[in-house]
């Protein structure tokens, strides 16, 4: 079959890498893709927000499956566009409808959904611009630190954790006053949960589900989680505290109620669900949902799947995911992200990247690269990453470090502690 994958980052490169291994694949197209993905399929210059152009391309190239990498087109309704457009409605879409994507697109919707279905999450209340006073009052009933979340999509910047009531009050005022535009016209205030985070990924056809390998990502720029937040500096899978007993709790208390809740509410959901979890004294609680895979978690989750991903995706479309086989690679995988010096603040681009031909047993995923005058160059804050397997996470990290060291460009930076805290 012909598959069209939307997106251009490391997450999509990892999806493309896995899809390209499938015997079921005839041709893979990626829009817009990146130079790394160009080795796996044909990159086509389409914007992920231009639904009519994507639809026309799909018709012209006999696409049978559309895999949506990033959240924005899902929240904006790309699945509905395909389902409702004659000709395109025969194409299977991996990604939920607009109503399903509200799990990520609206923090208030997600919290209310969890409450309706008894899914463990932090206590919360939502306030709009007319309810500043009530919001300030609710804040004073909570213990520090304070968690404020803009309701809508903010590219990972809409959550503030404030150490004092004074700062929380000030930020609440600014958020409701339009700090994130319409996205913060409503703000969720919730209880702070103390624990270690873990990301669990599920594929669902709306009725059945398969749980993929779990992973932990590393968000801060500095080692041992200090400094500013980034798009993600690396990931590890499996996660040692996600024992079979813990994962059973996740399935019983969180995954199954979520999939059943979506079905009960008549919400069309065929695709990935990303459960951002936190381990609170041995019990998993939900921090957030996303309606797509994570980046850079996908860069370790895909390498740890030893079955055919396209076989599973076919099950999602056909509604018979229960009859498809999933299997995991028993090895540990660690992904290390190489970034541009200065990121996540100001940084320079356009430096030549060398050393990729020197790597040993590494899987390379491109995040922000470009080709300039025939040369691969840096083109983003997060540039390129390496995933290595190992006997355990420390062995995988050592191999990833040896390979990261060989990739050369000006002002290269990466963390050397991915997975070390676990």
Ligand X SMILES: Nc1ncnc2c1ncn2[C@@H]1O[C@H](COP(=O)(O)OP(=O)(O)OP(=O)(O)O)[C@@H](O)[C@H]1O
Of residues 323-362, those binding ligand X (CB under 6 A): none
Task: Report whether 300 contacts 335 (CB < 8 A).
Answer: yes
| Dist. CA 352–CA 378, nearest whole Å | 7
| Distance, CA of 115 to chain centre | 23
193 binds, among Mg ion, ligand X, none (CB under 5 to 8 A by kind): ligand X
For residue 317, cis peptide bond before it (omega within 30 degrees of 0): no
- Minimum separation from the CB atom of position 118 to ligand X (A): 18
- Total binding residues toward ligand X, as defined by CB under 6 A: 14
Closest by Cα among 380, 385, 393, 392 to 415: 385
Q: Confirm or reject binding of residue 192 to ligand X (CB under 6 A).
A: yes
Q: Confirm or reject binding of residue 18 to ligand X (CB under 6 A).
A: no
Of residues 196-235, those binding ligand X (CB under 6 A): 197
Helix (H, G, I), strand (E, B) or coil at 43: strand
Task: Report whether 280 contacts 193 (CB < 8 A).
Answer: yes
- Minimum separation from the CB atom of position 287 to ligand X (A): 5
String marking each residue 242-281 x if it binds Mg ion according to CB under 5 A: ----------------------------------------
Closest by Cα among 317, 308, 72 to 183: 72
Dihedral through CA 99, CA 95, CA 328, CA 274, nearest 10?
A: -40
Is the Cβ of residue 8 or residue 199 nearer to Mg ion in the bound state?
A: 199
CA-based torsion, 238, 408, 294, 93: positive or negative? negative
Cα atoms in the 13 Å half-sphere on the side-chain side of 173: 9
The residue sitting closest to ligand X, measured at its beta carbon, is 156
Q: Confirm or reject binding of residue 8 to Mg ion (CB under 5 A).
A: no
- Minimum separation from the CB atom of position 114 to ligand X (A): 12
Cα atoms in the 13 Å half-sphere on the side-chain side of 355: 17
Element (H, E) at 125: strand 124-128
Is the Cβ of residue 106 or residue 403 nearer to ligand X in the bound state?
A: 106
Dihedral through CA 184, CA 161, CA 232, CA 126, nearest 10?
A: -40
Is the Cβ of residue 197 or residue 394 nearer to ligand X in the bound state?
A: 197
Q: Confirm or reject binding of residue 199 to Mg ion (CB under 5 A).
A: no
- Minimum separation from the CB atom of position 333 to Mg ion (A): 23
In 3-state terms the chain splits into helix, strand, coil percentages (rounded to 5) of 35, 30, 40
String marking each residue 151-180 x if it binds ligand X according to CB under 6 A: -----x-xx---------------------
- Minimum separation from the CB atom of position 7 to Mg ion (A): 16
Closest by Cα among 92, 87, 6 to 314: 92
- Minimum separation from the CB atom of position 155 to ligand X (A): 7
Of residues 272-301, those binding ligand X (CB under 6 A): 276, 287-288, 290
- Minimum separation from the CB atom of position 129 to ligand X (A): 20
Of residues 279-338, those binding Mg ion (CB under 5 A): 288, 290
Query: Site for ligand X (CB under 6 A): which residue of 4, 6, 28, 147?
Result: 147
Of residues 24-83, those binding ligand X (CB under 6 A): none
Q: Which one of the spans 85-93, 189-197, 233-241, 343-351 is the region binding ligand X (CB under 6 A)?
A: 189-197
- Minimum separation from the CB atom of position 328 to ligand X (A): 24
Is the Cβ of residue 80 or residue 217 nearer to Mg ion in the bound state?
A: 217
79 binds, among ligand X, Mg ion, none (CB under 5 to 8 A by kind): none
Is the Cβ of residue 171 or residue 190 nearer to ligand X in the bound state?
A: 190
Closest by Cα among 362, 346, 356, 358 to 398: 362
Angle in degrees, CA 334, 335, 338, rounded to 5: 145
Helix orientation angle between 309-318 and 10-19, rounded to the nearest 10 degrees: 90
| Distance, CA of 406 to chain centre | 27
Per CB under 5 A, residues contacting Mg ion are 288, 290
Per CB under 6 A, residues contacting ligand X are 122, 147, 149, 156, 158-159, 190, 192-193, 197, 276, 287-288, 290
């Amino acid at each position: 079959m012909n598959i069209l994958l939307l997106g251009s980052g490391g997450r999509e490169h990892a999806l493309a890498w896995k899809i390209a291994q499938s015997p079921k694949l005839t041709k893979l197209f990626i829009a817009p893709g990146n130079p790394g993905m160009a080795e796996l399929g044909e990159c086509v210059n389409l914007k992920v927000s231009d639904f009519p152009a994507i639809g026309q391309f799909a018709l012209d190239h006999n696409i049978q499956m559309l895999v949506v990498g990033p959240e924005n087109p899902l929240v904006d309704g790309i699945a509905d566009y395909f389902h409702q457009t004659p000709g395109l409605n025969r194409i299977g879409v991996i990604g939920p409808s607009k109503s399903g994507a509200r799990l990520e697109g609206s923090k208030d919707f997600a919290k209310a959904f969890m409450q309706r279905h008894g899914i463990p999450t932090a206590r919360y209340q939502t306030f709009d611009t007319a309810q500043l006073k009530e919001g300030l009052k609710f804040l004073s009933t909570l213990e520090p630190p304070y968690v404020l979340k803009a309701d809508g999509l903010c590219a990972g910047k809409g959550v503030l954790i404030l150490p004092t009531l004074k700062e929380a009050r000030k930020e609440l005022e600014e958020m409701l006053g339009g700090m994130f535009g319409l996205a913060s016209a409503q703000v969720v205030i919730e209880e702070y949960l103390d624990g270690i985070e873990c990301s669990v990924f599920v594929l669902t056809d709306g009725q059945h589900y398969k749980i993929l390998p779990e992973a932990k990502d590393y968000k801060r720029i500095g080692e041992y989680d200090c400094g500013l937040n980034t798009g993600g500096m690396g990931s590890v899978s499996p996660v040692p505290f996600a024992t079979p007993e813990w994962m059973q709790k996740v399935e019983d208390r969180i995954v199954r109620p979520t999939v059943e809740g979506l079905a009960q509410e008549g919400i069309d959901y065929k695709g990935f669900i990303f459960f951002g979890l936190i381990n609170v004294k041995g019990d998993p609680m939900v921090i957030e949902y996303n309606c797509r895979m994570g980046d850079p978690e996908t860069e370790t989750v895909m390498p740890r799947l030893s079955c055919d991903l396209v076989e599973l995706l076919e099950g999602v479309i056909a509604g018979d995911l229960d009859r498809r086989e999933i299997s995991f690679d028993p090895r540990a995988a660690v992904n290390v992200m190489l970034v541009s010096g200065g990121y996540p603040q100001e940084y320079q681009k356009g430096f030549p990247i060398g050393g990729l031909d020197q790597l040993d047993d590494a899987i390379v995923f491109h995040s922000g690269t470009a080709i300039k005058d025939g040369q691969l160059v840096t083109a983003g804050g997060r540039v390129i990453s390496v995933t290595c397997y190992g006997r355990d996470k420390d062995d995988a990290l050592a191999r990833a470090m040896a390979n990261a060291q060989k990739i050369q460009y000006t002002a290269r930076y990466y963390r050397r502690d991915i997975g070390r805290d676990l």
